[in-house]
Amino acid sequence: MCGIVGYIGKDDGTEICLKGLKRLEYRGYDSAGMAVVDNQEIKSIKVKGRVAALEEKQKNNPLKGSLVIAHTRWATHGVPSEENAHPHFDCHKQFAIVHNGIIENYASLKRWLEEKGHKFTSQTDTEVIPHLIEDYYEGDLVATVQKVLSLVEGTYGLAIISAKEPDKMVAARCGSPLILGICDNGDYIVASDPTAVVEYTRKVVYLNDREVVVLNHGSYQIFTLDNKEVERETSEIAWDLAQIEKGGFPHFMLKEIFNQPDTVSNAMRGRIILSENRVKLGGLIDYLDSLAKSERIVFVACGTSWHAGLIAEYLFENLASLPTEVEYASEFRYKGSIVNTDTPYFVISQSGETADTLESLRKVKSAGGKVFGIVNVVGSTIARETDAGIYLHAGPEIGVASTKAFTSQVTVLSLLALYLAKARGKMSDEDMQARLNSVLALPKIIEKILKNADSIKNIAERYIKYNNFLYLGRGYNFPVALEGALKLKEISYIHAEGYPAAEMKHGPIALIDQNMPVVVVATDTEDIIYQKVMSNIEEVRARGGNIIAIATEGNEDIKNFATEVIYVPKTAGFISPIVNVIPLQLLSYYMAAARGCDIDKPRNLAKSVTVE
């Protein structure tokens, strides 16, 4: 994961880089560092801990320079420490590097370098790169970097500066995201993602894998590793600085939960043509006919996006009678599954940079298959490498625990399922119109739930003493149980597991007692499912378990069975996951807040998983 920022320009760039690190801190926050070239000498500062500690160190002993690189770390090789913090250097501190990724063959390279007399000061894989540059350098930093990167195996997004060439920065990417921000005054900012540059420019260039960008004062060039020059058009960031500020909320996560009436609305904007009783998906327009004729669809994703894929499985099979499978990207990319070139594959990723999902995409494409994306970040690698897809338009999601991206994913997947159901002759005009109206009602329904946030907060505060939770759901809401449990464990560090409600009797019921609260999604959108869930609630109640039920407004009877009840407005079953997950997001948030957890930066986690 990690976040990197680099600046080359006419002014002191240290403040720009520090601000950039603050915006990138959701990518990693166990140590931080910065280096500048000053009078043909590299000077640096490093800290164990957050960017705030680096900022304080900079105040006490300030660095200044117009050529700067900076880094906030999520540890892979080596414990969080000042020694393992980036930037890393060669033996004589003539070259400095910041790196996001993993060098897989670092151990053999390190042994070879040590045999040649190089001295290492960290336990990181990254440190082999500046030592390799030192060993191969013959006066041309660009050629040396190209040579060195041809020797390393693994992933990298990196920026390099040298005291030997003090007017130049070299940056490169392979598997880890990297962009170039082009400022109107001729300055350049290299960063892991647009959040670090948007305060200064919206004009960016996205680097592709195995490309190197060479930055001089006032000019830049892009080359491949084998030194072929590349022409690349600039892109425009579609959002503004206000969207990456907290806007008066105590945490980004809470802001993003409360953003959901707008982000769900954005996900459907222009895609529901009610007057024509149809769904319009422009990003897939060239492929919609072939998708409708498919005999099978496969979704590939990780984490929260995988949960969205599970909901899509119910949607596609129930509404469109289209057999659907959902794969963990981390397993799919390595298992010996045969890619069927007649089967459409969809990859789902908020960032568009998720390493396992990206490699799964490439596995399908290398076998000749078609891959489509459900992605939030415009210009991301997955967005560029898929054949076509659907953007979420949710805006930047800064909180590490995904909220608004999830509901936006499920919204666009619901629209795609409706399109396919109609195209495959599985849905009448009357049913289509009713379902489209249900989707259009979602923003107002979410607003109503959010107005009830204080009562959910009160429930959360009554349950912070418990260290284990069980989440249960059935049908469309089984993945909601998984997602609710994931949110709780991510940000509050409370152990939680989600299950299909009927599976409780096949093992988890042994855990239930008065110290194991059970959260049950028990909305009465489908009578048969509701009756089965109520039977599961009775089983928990008979064993002394405390029950927190998500129930439909007007259901007074459930108060006789549940310890706590959180009501949500009635909605159609196929979109109930979007409605029912909102109180679970709030429950997790308020429990984490009551326990004093660092909600936006939970321990050991980073937002965008760009390494295995």
Domain 450-599 class, CATH top level: alpha beta
| Cβ atoms within 10 Å, residue 13 | 27
pLDDT for position 329 = 96
- Pick the closest to residue 16 from 42, 55, 74, 46 (CA basis): 55
pLDDT for position 526 = 65
| Cβ atoms within 10 Å, residue 167 | 12
CB 568 within 8 A of CB 582: yes
Please list the residues that pair with 496 across neighbouring strands. 469
**Domain locations in the chain as residue ranges:** 3-237, 245-440, 450-599
Domains 245-440 and 450-599 share a fold: yes
pLDDT surpasses 70 at 5: yes
Residue-wise pLDDT for 176-225, tens only, equals 999 999 999 999 999 999 999 999 999 999 999 999 999 999 899 999 99
pLDDT bin (cut points 50, 70, 90) of residue 610 is low
Q: Which overall architecture, per CATH, does domain 3-237 show?
A: 4-Layer Sandwich (3.60)
Residue-wise pLDDT for 368-425, tens only, equals 999 999 999 988 999 999 999 999 999 999 999 999 999 999 999 999 999 999 999 9
For the question of residue 2 being annotated catalytic, the response is: yes
Amino acid at 268: M
Beta carbons within 8 Å of 605's beta carbon, 6+ residues apart: 400, 401, 490
pLDDT surpasses 70 at 488: yes
| 48, 404, 489, 607: the active-site residue | 607
* Segment holding 24, helix H or strand E: helix 14-24
Rounded distance between C-alpha atoms, residue 608 and residue 354, angstroms: 6
Alpha helices in 219-354 (DSSP H): 252-258, 260-268, 288-292, 303-320, 329-332
Amino acid at 297: I
- Pick the closest to residue 285 from 425, 436, 419, 435 (CA basis): 419
> What are the angstrom distances between the C-alpha of 166 and each of 16, 40, 62, 65, 441?
19, 6, 19, 10, 58
Top pLDDT among 175 and 405 is at 405
Amino acid at 610: T
Q: Is the bond leading into 87 cis (omega within 30 degrees of zero)? A: yes
Structure tokens at 110: 């390190």
pLDDT for position 611 = 61
pLDDT for position 608 = 65
H helix count then E strand count, the chain: 19, 27
* Segment holding 594, helix H or strand E: helix 576-594
Rounded distance between C-alpha atoms, residue 11 and residue 217, angstroms: 11
* Segment holding 528, helix H or strand E: helix 527-542
| Cβ atoms within 10 Å, residue 452 | 15
Top pLDDT among 240 and 93 is at 93
CB 223 within 8 A of CB 215: no
Rounded distance between C-alpha atoms, residue 532 and residue 553, angstroms: 19
Q: Crossing angle for the helix pair 442-450 and 576-594, nearest 10 degrees? A: 20
* CA angle, residues 445, 446, 447, in degrees to nearest 5: 90
pLDDT bin (cut points 50, 70, 90) of residue 525 is low
- Region of 2 (left: φ > 0; alpha: ψ -120 to 50; beta: rest) is left
Mean pLDDT across 54-83: 92
- What is the CB-side half-sphere exposure of residue 333 using CA atoms within 13 A? 15
Q: Which CATH superfamily is domain 245-440 in?
A: Glucose-6-phosphate isomerase like protein; domain 1 (3.40.50.10490)
- Pick the closest to residue 266 from 395, 174, 117 (CA basis): 395
* Residue entry with tokens 């109503």: 448
Residue-wise pLDDT for 214-266, tens only, equals 999 989 999 999 999 999 999 999 878 888 888 899 999 999 999 999 999 99
Residue-wise pLDDT for 536-581, tens only, equals 888 888 888 899 999 999 999 999 999 999 999 999 999 999 999 9
pTM of the predicted structure, to 2 decimals: 0.88
Amino acid at 504: M
- Pick the closest to residue 574 from 414, 450, 440 (CA basis): 414
Rounded distance between C-alpha atoms, residue 524 and residue 54, angstroms: 52
> What is the C-alpha radius of gyration for the chain, rounded to an integer number of angstroms?
25
DSSP state of 283: G
pLDDT bin (cut points 50, 70, 90) of residue 612 is low
